[in-house]
Amino acid sequence: MKKINIFTFTVGRSDFGILQNLLIRLKKNKRFNSNLVVNEVHKSKIFGDTSKEIKNIYYDKLHIVRYKLTSNDINFNISQIIKSYNNFFKKNKIDACIILGDRYEMMSISIVIKKFLIPIFHLHGGAETLGSLDNIYRYTISKMADVHFVETNKHKKNLIKMNIKKNIFVVGAPSLENSEKNLTSKKKFQTDMNIEFNPLKKIIISCFHSETILNLNENLTNLKNLLIFLKSLKQNIVITYPNADHNFKSYIDQIEKYRKEKNFFIFKNLGRIKYFSLLNFGNLLIGNSSSGIIETANFKIPCLNLGNRQKNRFHNQNVMHSKFDLLEMKKKYKILTANKFYKKISNIKDLYYKPNTSKKIADKIFQLLFKN
């Protein structure tokens, strides 16, 4: 039986976590000759060299594409990505590609794929994030893609509005499949990470990413306000590093100033299981990550979504929105941490969840590639 040479691309810790269930299924399926392509960000020591974690998990057919990465020139990065991946595609026989999301790296790779006339299977299209350039990158990828696996009917409707009407399949959010398997306890988490939470205080998770339609000073002001607010809470504060967006080093430097603050715990990368474990025993997520919009409802914890990065994104009822304003954040925090609100969301069903997401995607890819 002919095997499909399928290549999945990951450009950071966030999309790799989302893709894990699908990657496991593709690897086990004898119909696929499954390959994973890792980029420069995964090799970066700044973000914890996540390529080691990937290799340790399961992947033997692992390709690493290297290029020069800068913090303050995204256009330069795009040019380097296109050049490097163009060379990679020339050297490999590829039947189909899986692309996820909305990063500029994914858009750059998609441009190369399109040049080689290889089918693109796109996950997470149809979302809207009006406070980020990722919104434009996502639209661009959707226009280049041949097949679209979306999370909800709302996302399908958004693609149709873009005059994309064929090969749209509603499958749910891949990250939520088996999201509660193999989680670690709070005690083991502390042992593994060599930290100690104050047992009398809440555990607040915070993820900040820049609003890429704003300049450096505007984003730094937002981040500084967030950090001041988090310190004022006097709770256990767990912060994860931002994405490799424009000027990411400046945001990391600002976060690192709080490393020695009491009950502050800062991590470059937690990995999927550790991160979901944190959501499972944590009390609240504060920030502007898509994780707050998509994943927190699955763990029945509130999310305080800040600023405009996720503006207009379809969200669950456990999410409240605020500007990076100290008084407004304080007001919304009080509502979200009240027993009344926890009781309200105790039986919430995550709108992004559908069963057997990875199976549906893998089966549909096989069906479409072999329909003739």
User: At 61, which amino acid appears?
Assistant: K
> Which stretch of DSSP H or E encloses residue 104?
helix 104-115
What percent of the chain is modeled with pLDDT above 70? 94
pTM exceeds cut of 0.85: yes
Kindly give, in sequence order, each residue whose CB lies less than 8 Å from that of residue 2, ignoring residues fewer than 6 positions away.
none
The pLDDT confidence band at residue 30, using thresholds 50, 70 and 90, is confident
- Check for a shared fold between 4-175+355-369 and 186-344: yes
What percent of the chain is modeled with pLDDT above 90? 75
Q: How far apart are CA 153 and CA 166, in angstroms?
A: 14
Using DSSP bridges, classify how beta strands 284-287 and 203-207 pair: parallel, antiparallel or unpaired: parallel
pLDDT digits (tens, 9 = 90+) for 12-24: 877 888 898 898 8
Show the tokens assigned to 186. 């709070």
Provide the pLDDT for residue 370: 79
Domain boundaries, the chain: 4-175+355-369, 186-344
The pLDDT confidence band at residue 59, using thresholds 50, 70 and 90, is low
Per-residue pLDDT averaged across 36-58, rounded?
A: 70
Superfamily name and number for 4-175+355-369? Glycogen Phosphorylase B; (3.40.50.2000)
Provide the pLDDT for residue 299: 97
End-to-end CA distance of the chain: 15
Beta-carbon-side half-sphere exposure of residue 360 (alpha carbons within 13 Å) = 17
Beta-carbon-side half-sphere exposure of residue 313 (alpha carbons within 13 Å) = 31
CATH topology classification for 186-344: Rossmann fold (3.40.50)
